[in-house]
Structure 1
Amino acid sequence: MFESGHGSQAVEGLSTVVASLRTLEGGCDGERIDLITELEVLKAAVSAAQARLSVAFAESQEAAQAAAGVPARERGRGVAAQIALARRDSPHRGSRHLGFARAMVREMPHTLAHLTAGRVSEWRATILCRETAVLTVDDRREVDRRLAGDLPSMGDAQVARAARGLAAQLDPESVARRASKAAAERCVSLRPAPDTMTYLSGLLPVAAGVATYAALDRRARELIAGGDERGRGQIMADTLVERVTGQATAEAVPIEVNLVLPVDALLGTEDSTAELVGHGPIGAGAARTLLSAAAASGAPIWFRRLFAAGECQLVGLESRRRLFPEGLRRFLVLRDKVCRTPWCDAPVRHADHVVAAGRDGPTSAANGQGLCAACNQAKEARGWSAQVVSPGQTSQGLTQRHRVRLRTPTGHLYDSTAPPLFDGGGGDRAADGSRPDFSWAERALELRLAAA
């Protein structure tokens, strides 16, 4: 996944410690409990060390950018993303890690001391940072000082309550600012759930959330009293769908669904895995059920061949334009599924040229990748570069998946490989499909369903 050529005694020393943990067992149960305790101390101390190193790295990178003439408004661009990659995390979380580190090192010396000594966990320190984010630096330091004595013995909820109480006492206006900011961030999100289900979540002001839940609960009780055989939760879920969409029943929702599945799975001759775009893998049986339900409701179904026999990827997709045309962009989304930056699970928002178009990079499937907005911006920062290691074409009898190598300003390398079309379907395979670990069919279809 990544390579590093920056060896040092400190790095080698830590590598030795990590190696020694692989065989750590303990002689008796009492010793095992002691070791678990010491390892928790070690985890906290490591978090503190990461915070100090992150701040030092950010300051050094920003100073180097300033010396190179980077405008003040652009300094720091890509720094949090490098920290995220080093921690095998998404760039979004990298910004959180860096923000936490700066708060610990610059504004909360007592909490940092507890973290360094292993007396509090990184998560507990993060809660304190989060609950004091709206305070001035001086007020934040005061909260840090007042909680210093009790912090090691407090639980997560206790830390949050105590921090909120002190924040309200030191700066009452911060409570109003925090509430206003939170209300402005209200949103609705969708994420996959097991068994072809999904979680639809709403982040709402408390009054709106309670009122919405009460209305759904009231409707469920009315229908149950009238003899409805569905459960209370089922009725609430169906009522939510009906009221939001305006449909008479929850099943008759006008939606568009993209489904990718092997041809043999569509015909029922093979029980492999299909891919519900934006959701993830589902069983072939569930995919056929979805198609049957769509057809029964009178939904039009569009078929488009994606993969020809003997190929695991589309090849030769080219465009003379700088921007990716819609068909090619859709292919990148279907191939990459989520942002291609290692450890980033964000949805694809940008069709990106691996080698920039300004550097004569072609607008093609081989030179394209799906990225989220944050990763695309980080990749364009000074000192970043990328290259295609494997174009995802048949070569020497093997059909290899698309692979990109990302280089950060410090020279670290991170490889990103496009996932299998159908999860569980195996990796690279012979062009004749003979490898046993490649279970999905040679041909696949994209189906677009729209309920009538």
Structure 2
Amino acid sequence: MCEDLSEAALVERIAALEVSKSAAAAEQAELTMALDAARRAREAAAGVPASQRGKGLASEVALARKDSPNRGGRHLGFARALVYEMPHTLAALKAGALSEWRATLIVRESACLSVEDRARLDERMCADQNALEGKGDKRIEADAKAIAYRLDPQAIVDRAVRAPAQRSVWIRPAPDAMTYVTALLPMPQGVAVYAALRRTADTCGDGRGRGQVMADTLVERITGRPADVAVPVAVELVITDETLLGGDPTPGRIPGYGPIPAAVACRLAADAAADARSKATVRRLYRHPTSGALVAMESRARRFPAGMARFIAVRDDTCRTPYCDAPIRHTDHATPHAAGGATSLRNGLGECEACNYAKEAPGWRVRTFCDHQGRHTAEFTTPTGATHHSTAPPLLGDLVPLKASGIEIHLSDLLAA
């Protein structure tokens, strides 16, 4: 038992487990490449075109690792680089001289190099494992960057030229009903944005903190709406009439964000209704009396009608592939329409773009079913026969049905009543 060990023995065991984690990561990389080779060989023998071989494998690896499909692609690329091109880095990972993340940093910084130069970087960085001792993440990254630049300066410049094409914006939940909005921008624009926000904060003397002024200014300049004006909550807030009007403690839910406390949900709705410069509406939906699952509807069209697609987006919240938290981009048929799949809520799935395309690979199968309480479950079967399940979250928990459907009511009228 752990309590029987001395402090020195406990530290020793912790260190040994860290080495084991690194060794396990190295073995995962080797097994991933063995799977890749076996899959491609089988598909080649079956006459699958070369461009289609291995399609969907990254998502399969992600499911096996209980990770998102996006990270599955990274795992596959990481394994390919280690096993086929960077033997010294693989050996250092296997020996515990590198953690998986630090090995990933080395692979990432070498990605723009030719195979020959990548091998040279691998040797200079990791041939002597003792030289890795004591180096943290930043030092590992900086050393790899320096070596890469010496080996091929033009490749580094070319990568910097291409980088602005990757500019984007993300949002993810933060504690206490807050969010992180992250922007990846070219350095000059990013510095200019921050400097402009800071200048505004430096000249503001209304008692708000610097960070508060910068955050409020960002909201105002992007939305064109004063920061003190309540945000419209027409479709973005899912809340029961019992919570809104009867004081029920059942949480509300923001699609794509998750549950928020009942008091916070009511405050958002009330603020939006009370502010004449804002707008708030409530859309009524039926749901199962105990499970909270939404009732079904069906269409004969191949494409999901806008209302049904919105319904599925609210029901599924995020991509329905197990472990994938990406926003929904596609409303897809679990059983393909060409195979007789209905355009219905039961057969419909909200998925991100990558997952939707991944499950079209040969050997993948998806089926959906509902239990006696109306809970919607999707079963994903990979080409190896492994099955993974994903159940849509309850709309708002165990609730009685709402009393109307398909109508939109101004929240201010409800509150006034």
TM over 0.5: yes
Distance 1:35 1:246, change over 3 A: same
1:387 is displaced (CA, Å) by 1.6
Alignment check: 8 A CA contact 2:296 2:345 kept: yes
Q: Distance in 1 between matches of 2:288 and 2:378?
A: 25
Which position in structure 1 is the counterpart of 2:190? 209
What amino acid maps onto 2:197 in structure 1? L
- Residue among 164, 175, 178 paired with 1:194: 175
1:137 is displaced (CA, Å) by 0.8
Q: Distance in 2 between matches of 1:229 and 1:301?
A: 30
Which position in structure 2 is the counterpart of 1:301? 280
Alignment check: 8 A CA contact 1:258 1:449 kept: no
Which position in structure 1 is the counterpart of 2:207? 229
Which position in structure 1 is the counterpart of 2:415? none
Q: Distance in 1 between matches of 2:237 and 2:225?
A: 23
What amino acid maps onto 2:402 in structure 1? R
TM-score, reference length from structure 1: 0.84
Determine if the alignment matches structure 1 residue 110 to structure 2 residue 69. no
> How many pairs were matched up?
405
Matches of residues 72-111 of structure 1 in structure 2 within 5 Å? 72-111=50-89
1:285 is displaced (CA, Å) by 1.2
Instruction: Provide the secondary structure at the position in 2 that maps to 1:278.
Output: coil
1:450 is displaced (CA, Å) by 11
TM-score, reference length from structure 2: 0.91
Alignment check: 8 A CA contact 2:282 2:411 kept: no
Which position in structure 1 is the counterpart of 2:104? 126
1:368 is displaced (CA, Å) by 1.4
Which position in structure 1 is the counterpart of 2:251? 273
Determine if the alignment matches structure 1 residue 340 to structure 2 residue 320. yes
Determine if the alignment matches structure 1 residue 413 to structure 2 residue 387. yes
Alignment check: 8 A CA contact 1:114 1:152 kept: no
Matches of residues 18-417 of structure 1 in structure 2 within 5 Å? 27-148=5-126, 149=128, 150-224=131-205, 228-251=206-229, 257-298=235-276, 299-308=278-287, 310=289, 312-388=292-368, 390-392=369-371, 395=372, 399-417=373-391
Q: Distance in 1 between matches of 2:81 and 2:62?
A: 17
Alignment check: 8 A CA contact 1:264 1:441 kept: no
**CA deviations over 1:52-111 (Å, ceiling 9, x no partner):** 010111111112222222222222210111111110011110000010001101111111
Q: Distance in 1 between matches of 2:237 and 2:410?
A: 8
Q: Distance in 1 between matches of 2:411 and 2:31?
A: 52
Distance 1:309 1:50, change over 3 A: closer
Distance 1:448 1:98, change over 3 A: farther
Alignment check: 8 A CA contact 1:44 1:120 kept: yes
Q: Distance in 2 between matches of 1:448 and 1:330?
A: 18
Alignment check: 8 A CA contact 2:287 2:400 kept: no
Instruction: Provide the secondary structure at the position in 1 that maps to 2:361.
Output: coil
1:236 is displaced (CA, Å) by 1.0
**CA deviations over 1:299-334 (Å, ceiling 9, x no partner):** 343332212572632334111111111111111111
What amino acid maps onto 2:389 in structure 1? D
Larger displacement relative to structure 2 (204-213 or 163-172): 204-213
Which position in structure 2 is the counterpart of 1:11? none
Aligned residues with identical type, % of pairs: 48
Alignment check: 8 A CA contact 2:318 2:328 kept: yes
| Higher-strand-fraction structure | 1
1:420 is displaced (CA, Å) by 2.1
Instruction: Provide the secondary structure at the position in 1 that maps to 2:48.
Output: coil
What amino acid maps onto 2:262 in structure 1? A
1:116 is displaced (CA, Å) by 1.2
Alignment check: 8 A CA contact 1:188 1:202 kept: yes
1:441 is displaced (CA, Å) by 4.7
1:409 is displaced (CA, Å) by 0.6
Q: Distance in 2 between matches of 1:98 and 1:25?
A: 40
Instruction: Provide the secondary structure at the position in 1 that maps to 2:285.
Output: strand
Q: Distance in 2 between matches of 1:160 and 1:274?
A: 43
Q: Distance in 2 between matches of 1:177 and 1:449?
A: 54
Q: Distance in 2 between matches of 1:280 and 1:316?
A: 22
Structure 1: 5+ residue stretches without partners: 1-22, 426-437
1:206 is displaced (CA, Å) by 1.9
Q: Distance in 1 between matches of 2:288 and 2:24?
A: 51
Instruction: Provide the secondary structure at the position in 2 that maps to 1:421.
Output: coil
Distance 1:229 1:353, change over 3 A: same
Distance 1:275 1:449, change over 3 A: farther
Distance 1:199 1:257, change over 3 A: farther
Q: Distance in 1 between matches of 2:20 and 2:409?
A: 51
Structure 2: 5+ residue stretches without partners: 413-417
Instruction: Provide the secondary structure at the position in 2 that maps to 1:259.
Output: coil
Instruction: Quote the RMSD (CA, aligned, Å).
Output: 2.3
Alignment check: 8 A CA contact 1:340 1:418 kept: yes
Q: Distance in 1 between matches of 2:237 and 2:284?
A: 12
1:294 is displaced (CA, Å) by 1.1
Larger displacement relative to structure 2 (336-345 or 181-190): 181-190
What amino acid maps onto 1:305 in structure 2? R
Distance 1:340 1:254, change over 3 A: closer
1:297 is displaced (CA, Å) by 2.1
1:244 is displaced (CA, Å) by 2.1
Q: Distance in 2 between matches of 1:304 and 1:173?
A: 56
Distance 1:308 1:407, change over 3 A: closer
Q: Distance in 2 between matches of 1:382 and 1:276?
A: 35
Structure 1 residue ranges (4+ consecutive) displaced by more than 4 angstroms after TM superposition: 23-26, 252-257, 444-451
